[in-house]
């Protein structure tokens, strides 16, 4: 059985957990929401990517780790043209060796105005 990690980020209105842990493995999901209000942050892909990764950082810290413990990231974009801006911020906040990553373009994401979502896996210890 897994345990849900409380992050302090505004909870989703959907029946989901943002962070769960089994042993040393942690699964995280983050969107470009203000961690206090839960509102989608305004701005382009760079601002949203920064907020997503900052939310991942809040979440992995709550689980007892750091961004360096993340081994895999799945990125969901709504526009292929956003890849360049997302990559610029991603490369600034994640440091080599980078996690394994897949990036896919999807028709849309669930929250209005949301341009990027990330699903990550970490191994602690």
Residue 106 CA to residue 11 CA, distance in Å, equals 24
CA 91 distance to own-chain centroid: 14
Q: How far apart, in Å, are the Cα atoms of 31 and each of 97, 124, 125?
A: 23, 22, 26
pLDDT at 48 over 90: yes
Q: Which domain holds residue 25?
A: 3-123
Strand, helix or coil for residue 72: strand
Q: How many domains does the chain have?
A: 1
pLDDT of residue 40: 97
pTM of the predicted model as reported, rounded to 2 decimal places: 0.96
Supply the CATH number for residue 67's domain. 3.30.1330.40
pLDDT of residue 51: 98
pLDDT at 84 over 90: yes
């Amino acid at each position: 059985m897994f345990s849900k990690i409380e992050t302090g980020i505004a909870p989703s209105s959907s029946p989901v957990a943002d962070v769960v842990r089994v042993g040393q493995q942690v699964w995280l999901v983050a969107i470009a929401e203000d961690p206090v209000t839960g509102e989608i942050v305004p701005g382009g892909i760079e601002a949203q990517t920064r907020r997503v990764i900052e939310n991942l950082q809040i979440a992995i810290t709550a689980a007892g780790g750091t961004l360096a413990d993340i081994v895999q990231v799945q990125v969901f974009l709504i526009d292929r043209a956003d890849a360049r801006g997302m990559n610029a911020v991603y490369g600034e906040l994640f440091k080599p060796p980078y996690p394994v990553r897949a990036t896919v373009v999807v028709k849309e994401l669930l929250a209005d105005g949301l341009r990027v979502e990330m699903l990550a896996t970490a191994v602690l210890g």
